[in-house]
Amino acid sequence: MALPGDRSEIAFFDVETTVPTRPGQGFSILEFGAILVCPKKLDELHSYSTLVRPADPSLISSLSVRCNGITPDAVVSAPTFAEIADTVFDILHGRIWAGHNIVRFDCARIREAFAEVGRAPPEPKGTIDSLALLTQRFGRRAGDMKMATLATYFGLGQQTHRSLDDVRMNLEVLKHCATVLFLESSLPDIFTVNSWVSPNATTRSRSNGKPSPVGTSLNLSTSSSRPKSEDAPNLSSPVQGTGEDHPILSLVTHRRGEEVSDSAVANPERTDSFDMGQLSNQMETESLQPDVTMEEKTELMSPKTNSAAAVSEGSSGHDAFIEPDKVSTSNISACLVPLFHGSQVQRIKILHRDVILQLHCARLSIRFGINTKFVDHAGRPRLNFVVDLSPRLCEVLEACDSAANKLSMDSGSGSEWRTVVTRKKGFYSYPTARLHIPTTVSGNVAQYGTEICQKEPSGTVQKLVFVKFDAAELDTLFKPGTFVDTFFSLDPYDYQQSAGIRLVAKKLIIHSE
């Protein structure tokens, strides 16, 4: 395919891959598709797609086939990635990359594939991740922001999960979203009143750390030529072209002269560009990193499976929490329920005897104290800590994992499932799990969303009152080796190709002995 030499086109691309079925197993590209788009007219200039034969065809499991329909027989005569590497490099190198969730998924797969064939990967001029961009600007009205959901919202048909079809659908979705936002910007006073986002909501700009109005900034950065493992991307140069050159960017930016930060159109080296904002009390996000066990995101699923007609929430208060010894693993199940009343978007709930399961565990030993590595959209640390698990608690959590994972796969999710129980060999042998302390916000005041108490050696339990949100203060309480009584919920999530169960602490009693 003869390609233009000025590299001004936007390269929309998508990869279909195998789905790992065991820990430590990687992805193998099964299909690559791309279109080159004129940045001024959004015309499709060139297209390319091909199936790819993986080095190990046995990696194409039944789960992979369910996700994209690509069978081992379909790729038996397809070229290997080494055979198409020159073409892929020529399409992508030095151009602006665009796609849905490419920062988290597709960019990483491309780099891995080039590394496997011993070649330097292509480098983008800049990257437009429509998942981050549209979630920031369009999220609440369009549900979980998966491509299938967006396509349904705009009546664009069914997503095929094939590379070239998905790429073209992505471009059409962007055009539709941009048009709606452009029209809304013509009457901001009217549309702001009835909008899905509060006019007072704020998001933090990474460029200077100051709050800026949600829905009024477009986030830009460029890619560095340094290896993916380096920490700090180069943000000194703007993406080539201005709003006049890029209609997609021009339309999504409501008004000119506004603050520019680096999260929606992101460097592919960054892994934390996604910014949902406060969509609802039921939806939380966390920057995804390779070493994260749990993501702060509740499960959002397209309505492909009918949920139970009614799910009992159980009794109120801490009587709703049961001990692992009283749980019958054969009676653990999972079902899909609406995200909120009247919503077509669904999430997974874990049940025990048809009641939502919540657990109470006494004297769990803290393995690792408060982790503040990740922050939310307002710059507050997302708090979590790691505890050792008893054999019985492991059985219960793994049964929950199995039920939720099966329903996730049956519902069509292609995300990699991360087990709630972590088993690592090395300096400690106990299985562990991560407990999250959520944050609640009232006005501009942040508070811990978990009731935290302290138990004296005498047996007296006293509720702790915190004057301010201070993670350092918690760090002195949650020391390794300390015992803690826990009351927690099990919240499945499916977020940016990662899925699993997040344990959310509702009440913690720290033993001071």
Active site residues: 161
What tokens appear for 132 in the block?
């981050």
Bridge partners for 451 per DSSP:
507
Bridge partners for 463 per DSSP:
453
Q: Which residue has the tokens 């091909």?
A: 50
d(CA 499, CA 512): 35
First to last CA, the chain: 71
What tokens appear for 484 in the block?
């803690």
What tokens appear for 454 in the block?
């302290």
> What are the distances in angstroms from CA 474 to CA 7, 233, 240, 437, 459?
51, 32, 45, 11, 21
Backbone angles phi, psi at 137, to 5 degrees: -105, -20
d(CA 391, CA 40): 61
d(CA 280, CA 40): 36
Who contacts 366 (Cβ-Cβ below 8 Å, separation ≥6)? 385, 386, 387, 478, 479, 480, 481, 482, 483, 484
d(CA 244, CA 249): 9
d(CA 425, CA 46): 49
Residue/partner pairs of 313-320 with CB below 8 Å, 24 or more apart: 313/355, 313/356, 314/355, 314/356, 314/358, 318/360, 318/487, 318/506, 318/507, 320/358
Angle ∠(302,303,307) on CA atoms, nearest 5: 130
d(CA 343, CA 211): 31
d(CA 186, CA 183): 5
* Neighbouring C-beta atoms of residue 117, cutoff 10 Å: 12
d(CA 397, CA 389): 10
In order, the DSSP letters of 97-143 are EEESSIIIIIHHHHHHHHHHTT-PPP--SEEEEHHHHHHHHHTGGGT
